[in-house]
A = this chain, B = another copy of it.
Amino acid sequence: MKALDLLFGKPLATSEERGEAVGPVAGIPIFGLDALSSAAYGPEAALTLLIPLGLLGVHLIVPVTTAIIILLVIVYFSYRQTIEAYPQGGGSYTVATENLGNGPGLLAAAALMIDYILTAAVGISAGVGALISAVPSLQKHTLLLCLAILIILTIINLRGVHDTGVAFMVPTYLFLATLLIVIAVGLFHTLANGGHPTPIVTPPKLPTATAVLSLWLVLKVFASGCTAMTGVEAVSNGVKAFREPTTKNAKLTLTIIIALLIILLAGIALLCRWYGIGATNPEGPGYQSVLSQLTSAVMGRGTFYYVTIASILLVLSLSANTAFADFPRLTRSIALDDYLPHVFFIRGRRLLYSYGIAALVTLTGLLLILFGGVTDRLIPLYAVGAFTAFTLSQAGMVVHWLRSNRELGWRLRAVVNGIGAVATGITTLVVLVAKFVDGAWVTALLVPSMIFLMTQVKQHYRRVEVDTDNPKSLSIENIKPPIVIIPIDRWSRLSEKALKFALGISPEVIAVHVEGSDDSHSICDEWEHKVAAPLREAGLEVPRLVTLKSPYRYILAPVLDFILEQEKNNENRQIAILVPELVVTHWWENLLHNQRANLLKVLLLVKGNQRTLVINIPWYLEGH
């Protein structure tokens, strides 16, 4: 266990739980990293689509960002209310299920699970992508780097919530500090120069326009820009992780995160406009990210530039952490409602839902491998899930207020969430339509499949419950020993042990022997003097010995037939089959023994019924 302790920390008792709670300072990195790091790819995604418009595109980024910020403010007020109403953690899944019913709840569940997996995948791939732009020689190892980061994140997260906060605090605050300085300095230069600042490093020239402005293009730009909003729901899902007073701490953390995100988005958009910075073709030569252009234009290519770029790289790849914090909590909630396997609510050694983390890591790894770790291919799948969850959550809150109509100000609150629901609902449709061909169709296909699977899981648990629930008391009828059957090939210490066990538990014992081609040491020759005689002498019942024929050299088939025949002829009796099992010292030694005992057990489970069972009598090789 020592190695595990070193890697993942010592196991925590249930009573140590409170100590893991966090305040706003640790909460911002944990629950805000995803939302804040979106500023590094959201504006860039929008500007990339605007490249064909040339200078006009750079002008357009300001109104598009304004629209996104308005949406963000609406969503902010909505989620403040969710935190208040659901101090136990009001994820979209909980809110949608409680207020809108199981159907919308499952829709939210599926959308959110997909969204978290994409959060992890996009965060890691964007980080690696940025690293590769800085060190092009690493390009051929893209996927390997992605998977290495995934493994590091897994280890950090398996240590538990508190340690995670520490690991992520430094990069997050460095990222925020450097970008805010860039924006402040840029703003100062712009004001000092009457709106026309001089870049220290001149950004690449904007291309001449090759397309005209169209509503369709604007919708696509908006849809891509909306990826900047992913992750804002994290706080409301994780209210429980906050220190007392939880609601207040959670709301404060949310306010700070949203305020910082608005400053980043607005600052980036305005500086792009003032400095004339557009995106460059990510597939072409001479590619440079928007934030890289911006930082060098404002601050030059000194030490500060490299610190900024390094913090962006780090934060992008670590943003996947929001998924690690929330995905296991989400799957736990779904599993508690029987829609996912129950392992998802088993807590591991460090008070975490280890199976949730395992599922997230597996699915994220799969996604990274399938898409080769390339962000560009993952982006179109993203955002549909997030906005579906936003919409269902707000709509659920509207119903919540309508129902609890005694509460003060419920009308205003319903209106706030109503506006949120409508705004995010429209956005969901826009994103789905605008990005359908590029990849949103994958999400559109996955969601119903996952809902189907979850319904099947629920149905299974329901069936087990109905089948095993026992309202009655113990029935004392028919309590009697089983008929015991022992397949024996030759007289050995194993067969003696099995026979003694059988005689101990039941007066009705039958030994069966299958006639083979090599019967030199068959039990039949030794039965009389080795078994029957001693028992008879002691006045004990002698078991029956039955010999079975097998023309096709099968051993199991005749035994199985005999067992099923006994079961049929003895109604209401249990039939126990005793099979000796050799316990070997090394795993490979199992290869040296035929697995007939296990095979017989499987066959009996398939062909048998409630009344047959297999009892393995273990035999340990000496020296074990």
A605 touches B593 (CB 8 A): no
Which residues of B are found within 8 Å of A493, using beta-carbon distances? 467-470
Which A552-579 residues sit within 8 Å CB-CB of chain B? 552-553, 574
State whether B474 touches A496 (Cβ < 8 A). yes
| Nearest chain B CB to A369 CB, angstrom units | 22
Q: Say whether, besides A14-B551, A14-B553, A531-B473, A623 and B457 are in contact (CB < 8 Å).
A: no
Residues of B within 8 Å of A460, CB to CB, are 584, 589, 592
Stretch at the interface among A307-315, A343-351, A389-397: A343-351
Q: Given known contacts A342-B592, A460-B592, is B347 in contact with A497 (CB within 8 Å)?
A: no
Query: Whole-angstrom distance from the CB of A450 to the nearest CB of chain B?
Result: 15
What B residues does A464 contact at CB under 8 A?
A: 582, 621
A99-147 residues at the B interface, CB under 8 angstroms: none
Bitwise, A529-565 to B at CB < 8 A (1) or not (0) is 1110111011010000000000111000000000000
- A126 to nearest B CB, angstroms? 33
A500 within 8 A of B: yes
Report A594-615 residues with CB < 8 Å from chain B CB: 594, 605, 608-610, 612-615
Shortest C-beta distance, A481 to chain B (Å), equals 5
Q: Does A505 contact B (CB under 8 A)?
A: yes
Decide: B469 and A496 in contact? CB cutoff 8 A.
no
Complex CA–CA separation, A343 to B594 (angstroms): 6
Tell whether, in the assembled complex, residue B534 and residue A474 are in contact, meaning their CB atoms are under 8 Å apart.
Answer: yes
- Report Cα–Cα, A481/B464, bound state, in Å: 32
By beta carbon, the residue of chain B nearest A584 is B460
Known contacts A343-B594, A531-B474, A534-B474; decide if A619 and B505 are in contact (CB<8 Å).
no
CB distance from A549 to the nearest CB of B (A): 11
Interface pairs (14), CB distance under 8 Å: A14-B551, A463-B621, A470-B491, A473-B530, A474-B535, A475-B534, A478-B500, A481-B505, A482-B505, A501-B574, A583-B605, A613-B615, A613-B616, A613-B617
A195 within 8 A of B: no
Known contacts A15-B551, A347-B553: does B534 contact A476 (CB below 8 Å)?
A: yes
Beta-carbon contact of A618 and B605 below 8 Å: yes
Q: Does A499 contact B (CB under 8 A)?
A: yes
Give the Cβ gap from A70 to chain B, nearest Cβ, in Å: 44
